[in-house]
Structure 1
C-alpha cells in the first residue's frame, strides 16, 4: 500500500467566524490515549496510531480540502509566528501539517503538504527557550512556537516526513535531535517509562536559604521542568489565565530578550490593569512587572525572579512585591514548583502593616487560583506532559496523594499562622505608626484615642448608673438650696438660732435685747454660725442615711 499524496500549495486564509474556537470538539487537547484503531477501519499507512473517528471527522470539517483518506494523527497547541504570535493548534495528519486559529472571529488557516517540506528544524525562541519548530517549503517558511512538548511534536512530524521523503535522512535537514543551524540549544531527552530514574533536584537558593520569607506555592505537577516552564512562562496559557480567571485587562507583555548581549539569561516587562474590590478607594490600578531568569538548566532547575510595582496605590512608590519561582525535578515524571514572596521597602509608610498583609494575601490567592488552572490544563492535555508508554492515571494518583498530604499540613499551618497574624496585626500597626510618626502626630493620636474612649464609655453606660448620677445631682442641689435659705433667714433676722439648732445643738446663748457693744454682737453672730454649721452637719448625716432607701425605691 502506497502513501496517499495530494500536492497542495501552502495557503493562509483569513475569514470572519462566529466565536472563538481553535481546537477539536471533545478533544483531550493533545492526547492520543484511547484513540486506538477500530477493527473495521483501514490500517493507517504510516504505522502511527491515528485519532478517534470523532476527532478525525472534526479535523476534516475544519479542513475540507484535505482528502477523507488522510487520517489525523494528533494535534498540539502552539502559535504561528508572523508579525505577532497567532495562538492556535497544529494538526498532523498522514500527509499534511495544518494550523488553525480563531481569535475574535478572525480565522487563520495554514495547510502544508508534507511531500513539499524540504527542511524541518528545531528552533528556540528568545535564543534559549526550546519550544519552536521551523518548517520550510520551496515557496514559504513557517515557524511554529510556544509548544509545551516541542520534542514530542517534532518526533511525530519528522518521522512522518521521513516516510514521505525516503531520500531525506536524519542528516539531510537538521534531523532528529538537532537544533537549527543558527541557534544551537542542547536537546534534553524526555523521560520514558523505561528510562533511567532521574534524581530529585533542588534549587541553589533553597539550599542556601535565600528563598523569600513567605511561601505562596509549593506543589508537584506531572511533566518535566522544561514543559512546566514553557507552560508558565512561554505560552499563551498565562495570558488566558490572567484575562479570563483573574479578570485583568490591557495586558501588555514584551518578548523575552537576553539581559545582556550573548547572555542566556532572559528578561521581559509586563503590565496590566487589575480590578480592586475594596469598599473604598480606587476600583482598579495598574501593575508593572519585571521578570528575569536567574538560572536556566532543564537538567537541574530553573529560577525566575519577578518584581511587581503598583505606583498608583497609597505608598505605591516606596514598596514592591518580590517573587521567585523555582522549578525542579521531583521525580522522573514530575516537577516541583516553589514560589516564595516578600515585600521590599524603599521608604516609610504609616500603613506598612496593612500593605504587607494585603499584598501577601493577594499573592496567596493568585497562586492558589494558578494552581487550580494549571492542574486543569494538564488534566486536559495529558499527552503533552506525560511521556508515551507511561500510565498517566498512576502518575496523577501519586501526585494527587502527595498533594493531598501536603495540602492537609498546609491548611493546618495556615490556620495557625492566621491566628498568630490576627493577634500580632494590631501591635504591628501601632509599632509601625509609632516608628514612622512625629511627636505632633502621636499627640493628635493620643487625643483622638481619649476622645473615642470617653464617647464609648458614655454610650455604653448602663441606664441605672445614669439614673443614680442624676439623683445624686438633684440631692446636692436641694441641700445647697436649703443651706442658702437658712443663711438668708438668719442674716435677715427672721429665724431664731434655737429653731435652727434644735435639741441636738449646743445650748443657745440668749440674744440680748439691746447689745451694748459691737464685741458682744459679733460674738453672738459667731455663736449663731457655729450652731448653723452643726445643724447642717446633722442634716447631711440624715440625708446619707435616707439616700440608700431613696435609691432602692427608684430602682
Structure 2
C-alpha cells in the first residue's frame, strides 16, 4: 500500500484524492497538539498522536467560510457553522497559506506548487512506503523507548520526588528552572490538566527558545515540549515529546523520553530514563540526527542531575542551619526563661515572707479580738444563768404566797 493510500485510509478521503503537500505544525487549544497538516484537493486534514492522545481532523474546503493569515505564525480557518481552527508553528507560513487560499478560492496553483506536487508524485514507491510506515506506525503505536539512558536513586519517597521536580510549583528544581539554567528564553510552561480521553493522565506543554551551536546560519531555535504523567500505587510514568522547530530537518523527527520513577524499600525511589528518536519522514541524515539527538539528551540529563544534587545539598544545608539556629534559639530562650524564673521565685519568696509576717500580725490581732469576744460571751452566759435562777426563785415565792392565801381562806 502506497503512502497516498495509507493517508486516504487514515482520513477517510475519497479514492483518487490528490494530497498536494504536508507540513509540520500545531493545532492551538488549551493544550496545543503538535502534528502534521495535509493539504489535499478538497480537504485540509490534521493528525497528531502525542503520548497516546490522538487528534484526527478533516475539514472540507466547501465548509470553509474564511481563511486568515494572522501575525507571524497563525493561520485561522473559520467554518460555516462558526467553528474556528487555528494552526501555527509552520516553518514557512506564507507558503502554506498561499496553497490553502489557492485551493479554497479555486485559483490555479503556482509553478512552485505544481513542481512540488509533481516532485512528490514522482518519488519511487519504496520511498513513499517507508515514509508512511514510519509515520503511521508512530501515530498508531507510539515511539519505542527501549534505550535506557540513565538511572538515579533518591533517598526520599515517590510523593516527595513529584513535589520536588514534577509539580506545578516544584519545591526543588522544576523543568522551567532547568531551562533557565541553560539560558533559554521565552519560556512558557502551562499547568497540569487532565487529558480529555484519559482523566487519570495529566498533560502540560512548554514553549521556549534554545541556543544552537554548530548549526550553519542558526544560533537559536524554537522548541515545543508536550509532557504527560500518570500516578500509580508505586510508580510514576512521565513522558516528554520534543519538537525542535528551526533546526535542519526539524520536521522529520521528534525526541521521545520516558521517566519511570519507582518506589524502593527504606523510603527511597529509583528514576530510570529512556529515550528514542522517532522519524516522521524519511531522510538521508537519519544517522546523524539520531546520534546528535541522543548525545544531546545524555548531556542534558547529566546537567540535570548535577543541578539537582546541588539543589538538594543546598536544601539539606539550609535545613541543618535552620535546625541549628532553632537549637541555639531554644538554648538562649531556656537560659532567659531560667533567669526570669529565678527572678520570679525570688520575688515570690520575698512576697511570701511579707505575706507571712502580715498574716502573723493579722492572726495575733484576730486572736486578741476573739479572746475579748469570748470573755464577753461568757459573762453574758453567766448573767443569763443568774437571771434564770432569780426567775425560778421568784416563781417559787409566788407559788408559796398563793398557798398561804389559800390556807388563810380556809
Name the TM-score class by shorter chain. 0.3 to 0.5
TM-score (normalizing by structure 2): 0.40
TM-score (normalizing by structure 1): 0.30
Larger radius of gyration: 2
Comparing both structures, which one devotes a greater share of its residues to helix?
2
Comparing both structures, which one devotes a greater share of its residues to strand?
2
